[in-house]
Each structure stands twice: as structure tokens, then as C-alpha cells.
Amino acid sequence: MVFLPLTEIASRSVFGGGIPGAISFTQHLTLWVGFLGAALAAKEGKLLALATGELIPEGRFRDFARGASSTVAAGVSALLFWAAVSMVRLDREAGLELVEGFPVWVAQLALPIGFGLIALRLVGKSGTGLARRLPAVFGLAAGCWIGLRPEVLEFRPAWPALVLILAASLLGGPLFVAIGGAAAFLFLSQGISVAAVPAETYRLVVSPTLPAIPLFTLAGFLLAEGKSSLRLLRVFRGLFGWIPGGTAVVCAVVCAFFTAFTGGSGVTILALGGLLATALKEDGYREEFSLGLLTSSGSLGLLFPPALPLILYGIVASIPIEDLFIGGLVPGILLVLLLVAWGIREGKRGGSRSVPFSGKEAVAALWHGKWELLLPVVVLVTLFKGWATPVEASAVGAFYAFLLQTVVHRDLPLRAVPQVLRRCTVLVGGVLIILGVAMGLTNYLVDAEVPSRIVDWAQGHISSPLVFLLCLNIFLLVVGCLMDIFSATVVVVPLIVPLGLAFGIHPVHLAIIFVANLELGYLTPPVGLNLFLASYRFEKPLMTIYRSTLPMLIILGVGVLLITYFPALTLTLLGWLGRG
């Protein structure tokens, strides 16, 4: 996936044209990476789920919850397996070709293979011993039966299955099962083939821009595996360590940098949490403040280019991704500055140790970290100069990070690269399978005219755009608390875009409001994702994390309101650049 886009760039420069089929093959490699990665995630128990399952205490009830959720998950996965088989069979009969001589159905085999492996893995993870796995085996058989005889559920009410799926999700079932299962049973209730779900999955995963997500994620993983975090920590300490709260400032900026490339705050907290927590402790910061700062900073970079949520929003809402990158800059800086101000306040009150400014050390640190600092510059210049598409720019970023860690600094031995690729593939797979099935649910909602009905209701009950924006903030905060930002983008964005147009909200402004609210949702009790990741990474009780994060949640909430009600923060820079 890295090689083909880079070859495209070189081929255009040398021969004036690209390589036939390179783009299509890159898109379909995304399909294989996504579904094999999801199968690996199922094997390792890392499929993304609602955090509600973590609230269940260890013991007999946790075992029951695991068995019940696995039973439903195995059944839904088996149903999606047969749906994917049906889709592949139809496209094989149609004789469609990816490029000349290469049939599409061969590339599409990733879907049934992925769903089938996941179903089997979920049975294996349902418990130890045959007796504990029998319910999951029953669920697998039931899913296969429905998949082979879908007519038994056609035109029947979907709500019993939806209630069962919701209960399984609350007990810790995978999120893709909740979304994909809901889509499948809703389609069946309308007499529509359940093959519509994998068909929509296929349509999204092979979209022209989506390969940028796994490639930018790979760049972030490569940076996190080496000593880039140490070099960046030294750079920002050299620049800001002299002010009160300087280390807190550094932590916020470093986290924002990494999250912009990895796209998920979880990677930032897990990869950098230990290092930054140690730095804060050594400089005299209170533990409660440090926990809150690192938990909150983990999602700060989602508004900075080349943040993956902005790329995905552009794909779903058909907005130029470059406009979203530009529109997110000032709001992203605002949120960082709010946390920086809180860090300075803590530094003054807590008497934390600051480092006297040294011009010599600042220059030395900048030189030492120059290659990391150049990475976003290289990516954005290739993109905005028109030298590369977003996918090609992401390939440039991934290859740059690879050379940086293996050749320039030699932090990452070549023998360790396969393990980095594996961990990246697991994360990408866990995200892409959710995105894919979410497209199926979105397609059902559009067919059922849900967006237009929501618009009619809102216009009939809400007259002021300001009131609409307040209601939107509350709704998105709840969504961000319950769903990861990627699946929420696919499911929710098609619903709110018509609302934004109806109330005269600029599309880019609406996008930044959406991402800012979802970023805040990561910190919202009781089930914000960052709260659970921080509890796991720092080995602290959830209530301790809740208390530590509350001040930052309020501060960032103020920032989100400013972004919402002052559209100039988003649109002024676009206007200056002639893109408003």
C-alpha cells in the first residue's frame, strides 16, 4: 500500500502518467488489510466495543456477559459471512473486472474470509472449555441458518433482534456487531437482501481516499515505536520548559502531534502515557493533574492535519479534505491553548520545577528533532502543492517515518518492523470493519428517509440556528461518549449534514463542530473511551480518572462552545486563502 502510491508519484514525474490499475489495487489492499486486521483483532480480543462492558465486575457475571455477548456476536458475524458470500457470487456471475484480466470477485473474497474468521474467533473467545462455548456455537449455527434462509425473517419486525443486539453490546459485544447486525435485520424486515450490508462495506472501503487512514496510522505507529517522542519532548522542553507549567505545555503539544498522525487518542495514551507521566512527576506536578492532563491531551490532535477523522468526514460528506485541514487549524490551536493555560496555572500554583531557558539547548534540541518536525511539513507541502493526492501524501508520510526510524535514527531494527505492521493492522482492522458495516446502516437510514424526516422535525420545532447548535452539541457529546469517532462519522454525518444546510451552517464549520464534540466525548463519563484507556494505562480506578479529568472536560467544553458560536475561528483562514 505504501509502494504503489509512491510509484504513482514517480511515474507521473518521469513518464507523465500513472500506472494502470495502481489506484484500484491500493484500494483493494485496504479491503484486505482491514478485514484480515479485524480477524487478528478478534483473535487478540481487541475488537472495539462500548466501554460499558468494562463496568461489569469480575466473576460469574462477567463470565455470563462474555458468553452472552459472544453468542450474539458469533451469530451476527456468521450472518454477515453468508451475506458477503452472496455478494461475491453475484459479482462473479456479472463478470466484473478490477483491471483487465483480474476479476473483482477475487479481491472481494476479503469480506467473507474476514467475517468467517471473526465468527470462529468469537466462538473461541467465548469461554474456556466446550460447555462454555456451546452457546456461542449455537449462535454461530443460528446466524448460518438465517444467512442461508433469509426468507424466514423477511417482512418480520426487526425490534426483537435489535433489542438482543443492544443487550449484547451493553455486555461488551463488539461495536461492529451492534451496527452491522442492526443494519442486517432492518434490511431483512423490509424484504431487502442482507447482501446490501457487505455491498455498502465494499463501496466505502474501496473509496479513493480511504487508504489514507491506514497509511497515516502506520506513520504514527512507526513514530511511536522509536525514540521520536523523546526527541520531540526535548524540543518542546527547550522551547517552553522555562515558563511555569512548561512540562505540561510540552505534554499537550507532543500528544497533539502524535494524535494528528495516529488518528486515535488511544494510541497516544498507550504509547506515550508512561513517558510523559514520568516527565511530569519528575518536574513536581501533582498526580491528579498529570492524570487529567494526559487523558485530555490524548485527543487534542484530531483537528490538526492530517487527522484521520477530518479525512473520513470529507469522504462521507463530500467536502474537500484540504478545506477541513485549513478549517481545523485555528480551532485546534484554541483547544491546545486552553489546556496550556491550565498547565501554566498549575505550574504557578503547584511550584513545579521549570528549566531556565537556554538558547544553546533550544537550538540543539531543534536540530536533534528536525526530522520529526519536518514530517508534517513534507506531507502537507506534497498535498497542497498538488504533487500528490491525499492517499499518495499519506504514503509519503508512512515511508518518511519508516526511513526516519530504520535508516536515519536506527531506533527500529528491520526485524521489528513486522510486529509494528501487525499492531497497526489490528488497530486499522478494528476501525475499518466498523466503518464498513456502518455504511450499511447509513444506507438503510437514507432509504428510510430518516435524514429528511429529522430536518422536517427540526425545522418545525427549532426556529433559531443558535438553539439548533446547542442541541447539536448536546447530541454529539452523547454520541462521542458512546461511539468511537470513526463509526460515529459514518452513521451520524449523513443525518446532520442536511440539518446544517437547513439552518445555514457552513459545511466546514459543521465538520469542525462535529469533530470537536466527538473529541470532547472521549472524556465524558461514564463511558468516554479515553477514561478507560487512561485507567488501563496508568493502573488507576475509573473514579480517580473521572475526578482528575473533570476540570479539563469543563475547559475543553468552553472551547467547543467558542468553536460552535464563533464560526470565524473556522472560516476566516479559509476566506483568506480564497476557499471560503
pTM above 0.85, yes or no: no
The pLDDT value given to residue 242:
77
Has residue 572 got a pLDDT over 90? yes
Confidence at 14, pLDDT banded by 50, 70, 90: confident
Instruction: Give Cβ neighbours of residue 461 (< 8 Å, ≥ 6 apart).
Output: none
The pLDDT value given to residue 463:
83
Under a CB-based contact definition with an 8 Å cutoff, are residues 13 and 35 in contact?
no
Under a CB-based contact definition with an 8 Å cutoff, are residues 359 and 259 in contact?
no
The pLDDT value given to residue 274:
78
Taking the C-alpha atoms of residue 68 and residue 237, their distance in angstroms, rounded to an integer, is 50
**483: three-class secondary structure by DSSP:** coil
The pLDDT value given to residue 526:
67
**What average pLDDT score do residues 503-531 get?**
87
SS (H, E, C) 274-285: HHHHHHHHHCCC
pLDDT digits (tens, 9 = 90+) for 27-62: 889 999 999 999 999 998 888 777 666 667 777 888
Under a CB-based contact definition with an 8 Å cutoff, are residues 277 and 247 in contact?
no
Phi, psi of 296 (to 5 degrees): -75, -35
Taking the C-alpha atoms of residue 176 and residue 436, their distance in angstroms, rounded to an integer, is 9
Q: Specify burial of residue 155 (Cβ count, 10 A radius: 0-12, 13-18, 19+).
A: exposed
Instruction: Give Cβ neighbours of residue 310 (< 8 Å, ≥ 6 apart).
Output: 302, 303, 321, 324, 325, 328, 511, 515
pLDDT digits (tens, 9 = 90+) for 129-169: 777 889 999 999 999 999 999 888 888 898 999 999 999 98
Has residue 464 got a pLDDT over 90? no
Percent of the chain with pLDDT over 70: 96
Reported as half-sphere exposure (CB side, CA atoms, 13 A), residue 256 has a value of 25
pLDDT digits (tens, 9 = 90+) for 255-281: 888 888 766 556 678 777 778 888 888
Taking the C-alpha atoms of residue 573 and residue 578, their distance in angstroms, rounded to an integer, is 9
Taking the C-alpha atoms of residue 36 and residue 430, their distance in angstroms, rounded to an integer, is 10
Taking the C-alpha atoms of residue 146 and residue 528, their distance in angstroms, rounded to an integer, is 35
Q: How far, in Å, are 30, 196, 489 from residue 442 at the CA level?
A: 21, 11, 10
Confidence at 417, pLDDT banded by 50, 70, 90: very high
The pLDDT value given to residue 350:
67
Q: Which amino acid is at 271?
A: A
Taking the C-alpha atoms of residue 186 and residue 172, their distance in angstroms, rounded to an integer, is 22
Kindly give the residue spans of alpha helices, DSSP state H, lying in 351-408: 359-368, 370-384, 390-403
Under a CB-based contact definition with an 8 Å cutoff, are residues 262 and 521 in contact?
no
The pLDDT value given to residue 24:
85
Q: Which amino acid is at 198?
A: P
Beta bridge partners of residue 388, listed in sequence order: none
Cell of 179: 451496527
| β-strands 102-103, 97-99 pairing | antiparallel
Taking the C-alpha atoms of residue 419 and residue 224, their distance in angstroms, rounded to an integer, is 13
The region of weakest confidence among 276-280, 284-288, 350-354 is 350-354
Termini Cα distance of the chain: 33
Of residues 528 and 472, more confidence is placed in 472
Nearest to residue 116, comparing CAs of 76, 59, 78, 151? 78
Under a CB-based contact definition with an 8 Å cutoff, are residues 432 and 38 in contact?
yes
Taking the C-alpha atoms of residue 321 and residue 313, their distance in angstroms, rounded to an integer, is 8
Confidence at 554, pLDDT banded by 50, 70, 90: very high
Confidence at 83, pLDDT banded by 50, 70, 90: very high
Range among 46-60, 158-172, 475-489, 532-546 rated most confident: 158-172
The pLDDT value given to residue 114:
95
Cis peptide before 306 (omega within 30 of 0): yes
Kindly give the residue spans of alpha helices, DSSP state H, lying in 125-227: 130-148, 159-170, 175-189, 196-205, 212-225
Of residues 281 and 402, more confidence is placed in 402
Instruction: Give Cβ neighbours of residue 247 (< 8 Å, ≥ 6 apart).
Output: 237, 241, 279, 280, 283, 285, 343, 347, 352, 354
Which single residue is written with the C-alpha cell 472495539? 48
**505: three-class secondary structure by DSSP:** coil
**What average pLDDT score do residues 219-241 get?**
81
Q: How crowded is residue 30: how many other Cβ atoms within 10 Å of its Cβ? A: 25
Cell of 548: 482528575
Q: How crowded is residue 575: how many other Cβ atoms within 10 Å of its Cβ? A: 10
The region of weakest confidence among 96-100, 245-249, 286-290, 337-341 is 96-100
Which single residue is written with the C-alpha cell 491553548? 337
Under a CB-based contact definition with an 8 Å cutoff, are residues 299 and 265 in contact?
yes
Q: Give the distance from CA 39 to its chain's centroid.
A: 18
Percent of the chain with pLDDT over 90: 32
Reported as half-sphere exposure (CB side, CA atoms, 13 A), residue 13 has a value of 9
Average pLDDT, the chain: 86
Kindly give the residue spans of alpha helices, DSSP state H, lying in 263-356: 265-282, 287-297, 308-317, 321-350
Confidence at 349, pLDDT banded by 50, 70, 90: confident
The pLDDT value given to residue 262:
66
Q: Which amino acid is at 215?
A: L
